[in-house]
Amino acid sequence: MTQDDIYQKVKATLVDALNRDDDEVTPSSRLQADLGAESIDFLDIVFRLEREFGIKIPRGELFPESIFQGDPSLVAGGKITDKGLAELRDKMPFADPAEMDKFAADPKLDNMGDLFTVNLIVRYLKSKLGV
């Protein structure tokens, strides 16, 4: 399976899960801001990817949740702390380093959703499938 195969399957999955048109989904689309995903959609997407790719995605592996749990050492004043950023990088080794650096420059919790892009899912699956 090539990267493009993965991308096409991810795209089809998101078209189904989020009821979007084919041309609305691009590699850089952000799931929340661009494609309108809500919290339950993330679970739906994970379930669909598991079925589509025949894999198991442990809870929080693709979309880490711990950072959202209001731990004051990870999030303070609406921003992710240095410790939180370290944890995020640790939990999301598959994230695009450039995207992560961009987020780290202004780590507002509100912006965290911008990390969750179509490309992120493709990168995650690449690492998961060993492509």
Listed ranges 26-34, 47-55, 113-121, 123-131: which one lies at the site for other proteins (CB under 8 A):
47-55
Q: How many helices (H) and strands (E) does the chain have?
A: 5, 2
Interface with other proteins (CB under 8 A), residue total 11
- Tallying the residues shown for the chain, one arrives at 131
Work out how close the CB of 56 gets to other proteins at its nearest, in angstroms, rounded to a whole number. Answer: 10
Q: Most distant CA pair in the chain: distance in Å?
A: 43
Q: Does 55 bind other proteins (CB under 8 A)?
A: no
Single-letter residue type at 124:
Y
Comparing CA positions, the residue from 29, 23, 3, 36 lying closest to residue 122 is 3
Work out how close the CB of 74 gets to other proteins at its nearest, in angstroms, rounded to a whole number. Answer: 20
Name which of residues 27 to 46 contact other proteins (CB under 8 A). Answer: 40-41, 43-44
Closer CB to other proteins, 33 or 47, in the complex = 47
List, in sequence order, the alpha helices (H) in 19-56. 39-53
Q: Does 65 bind other proteins (CB under 8 A)?
A: no
Listed ranges 15-23, 68-76, 86-94, 106-114: which one lies at the site for other proteins (CB under 8 A):
15-23
Q: Does 86 bind other proteins (CB under 8 A)?
A: no
C-alpha distances in angstroms, 120 versus 18, 48, 75, 82, 113?
17, 16, 22, 22, 11
d(CA 5, CA 82): 36
Query: Interface residues with other proteins (CB under 8 A)?
Result: 16-17, 19, 40-41, 43-44, 47, 50-51, 59
